[in-house]
């Protein structure tokens, strides 16, 4: 299969080209992404710097066209019609000249509705003209067309301070620059780039989400407000201070966070953690979550024993990732005959990763069996440590 992508250097084009290239290389082998034999997949990338002769050659034998090329911030409004309608017309005429009736996708915009705040939009008018051109082309040639009216699109590689509020907010906040929100109540329909790419792959497979009116849609999109988006993105830098994570159960927040991270400068790829150190080693929190517990790293010096405490309700999971350890647990209290409960012992090593559960009502410890190497243990606790309610009581195992 030979796929032509116009506007391949743009935001959506780059993401689509990257995704298809992973399929071509055989790196993406998901069944729902199967298009053809990867060895038979050819990608034609066309952008503004390419010659029209190259476009004509691609139109001669391509099997599918994604027309993502377009103009959205020209110096003169007259360029809207030339760059959107005009290029679309050139593309379709080339396909006609070669008798190529392969499926063609057209990236339109919600502004083409020319309703509400989009009434009178010159950009919208040019996209509307492009839509009508594609539908007429289908009627004349019988070629399948897929016309999508994208709302506000966000995700990695979107150009900030251009025509995307989300890209601008993410870039500015990631780089310690101010953002301006004139009216936080403004309602927005937004769609994430990965969800667009998923739909584009479905279109390639002949499974596009076509509506009764002839338009195609990306089924996953979000209705929100400008204020929610701004407040959510503003909250992300603070997570490093609290060791928190965003509300990942909320799909829009999760996707906004991924977008925000893509705008971080390299100097912010790394940040310090607070290590609690003493003669025994160190204890360092990595993440704190409101409802998924706390993740930490414990380092024990050679021969050191840590712990010897128990919890009423708090529970933990220990995973030794380096070194050898003896983990011991003993139920507190005594048996009916007055004797202590037996000590349960587990010898674990970073060479064979295992989880050892710290059970409520059992005092426990961890012993570094090495006399020369540090012991490194990853610990998950079901709740962040609270000094006012530690639920931690000393008792030797």
Q: Does domain 2-261 have CATH number 3.40.50.720?
A: yes
pLDDT at 105: 97
Active-site position among 123, 171, 222, 260 = 123
Quote the mean pLDDT of the chain: 94
Q: Average pLDDT for residues 221-225, to the nearest whole number?
A: 97
pLDDT over 60 at 24, yes or no: yes
Residues ≥6 apart with Cβ < 8 Å to 209: 199, 202, 216, 217, 218, 219
pLDDT in tens, 64-108: 999 998 755 555 665 666 656 788 999 999 999 999 999 999 999
Among 89, 79, 77, which Cα is nearest to 6's?
A: 89
Please say if 123 is a catalytic residue. yes
pLDDT in tens, 55-64: 999 999 999 9
pLDDT in tens, 231-246: 999 999 999 999 999 9
Fold (topology level) of 275-394: Jelly Rolls (2.60.120)
Cα–Cα distance measured from residue 239 to residue 231, given in angstroms and rounded to the nearest whole number: 13
pLDDT at 163: 82
Where are the domain boundaries for CATH 2.60.120.10 in the chain?
Answer: 275-394
Where are the domain boundaries for CATH 3.40.50.720 in the chain?
Answer: 2-261
pLDDT at 377: 98
What band does 305 get if pLDDT is binned at 50, 70 and 90? Answer: very high
Q: Average pLDDT for residues 13-32, to the nearest whole number?
A: 95
What percentage of the chain carries pLDDT values higher than 90? 87
pLDDT at 176: 97
Locate all alpha helices (DSSP H) within the chain, ordered by sequence: 11-24, 52-61, 78-80, 87-97, 122-141, 165-174, 193-204, 226-235, 238-242, 251-261
């Amino acid at each position: 299969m030979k796929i032509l992508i116009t506007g391949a250097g743009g935001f959506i084009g780059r993401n689509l080209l990257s995704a298809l290239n992973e399929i071509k290389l055989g790196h993406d082998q998901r069944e729902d992404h199967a298009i053809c034999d990867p060895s038979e997949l050819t990608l034609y990338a066309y952008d503004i710097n390419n010659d029209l002769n190259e476009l004509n050659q691609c139109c001669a034998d391509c099997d599918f066209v994604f027309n993502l090329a377009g103009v959205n911030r020209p110096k003169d409004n007259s360029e809207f019609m030339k760059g959107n309608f005009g290029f679309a017309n050139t593309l379709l005429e080339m396909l006609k000249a070669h008798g190529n009736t392969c499926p063609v996708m057209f990236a339109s915009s919600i502004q083409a509705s020319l309703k509400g705040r989009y009434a009178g939009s010159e950009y919208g008018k040019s996209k509307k003209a492009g839509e009508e051109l594609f539908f007429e082309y289908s009627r004349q040639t019988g070629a399948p067309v897929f016309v999508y009216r994208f709302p506000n699109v966000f995700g990695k590689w979107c150009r900030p301070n251009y025509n995307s509020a989300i890209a601008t907010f993410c870039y500015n906040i990631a780089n310690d620059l101010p953002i301006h929100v004139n009216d936080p109540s403004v309602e927005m329909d937004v769609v994430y780039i990965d969800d667009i790419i998923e739909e584009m792959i479905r279109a390639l497979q002949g499974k596009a989400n076509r509506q009764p009116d002839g338009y195609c849609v990306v089924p996953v999109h979000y209705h929100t407000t400008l204020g929610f988006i701004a407040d959510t993105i503003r909250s992300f830098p603070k997570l490093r201070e609290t060791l928190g994570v965003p509300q990942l159960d909320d799909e829009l927040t999760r996707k906004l966070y991924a977008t925000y991270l893509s705008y971080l400068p390299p100097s912010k790829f790394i940040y310090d953690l607070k290590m609690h150190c003493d003669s025994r080693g160190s204890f360092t929190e990595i993440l704190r979550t409101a409802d998924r517990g706390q993740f930490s790293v414990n380092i024990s010096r050679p021969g050191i024993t840590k712990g010897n405490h128990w919890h009423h309700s708090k529970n933990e999971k220990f995973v030794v990732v380096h070194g050898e350890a003896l983990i011991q647990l003993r139920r507190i209290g005594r048996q009916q005959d007055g004797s202590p409960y037996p000590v349960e012992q587990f010898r674990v090593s970073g060479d064979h990763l295992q989880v050892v559960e710290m059970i409520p009502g059992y005092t426990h410890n961890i012993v570094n069996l090495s006399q020369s190497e540090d012991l490194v243990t990853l610990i998950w606790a079901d709740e962040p440590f609270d000094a006012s309610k530690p639920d931690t009581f000393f008792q030797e195992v």
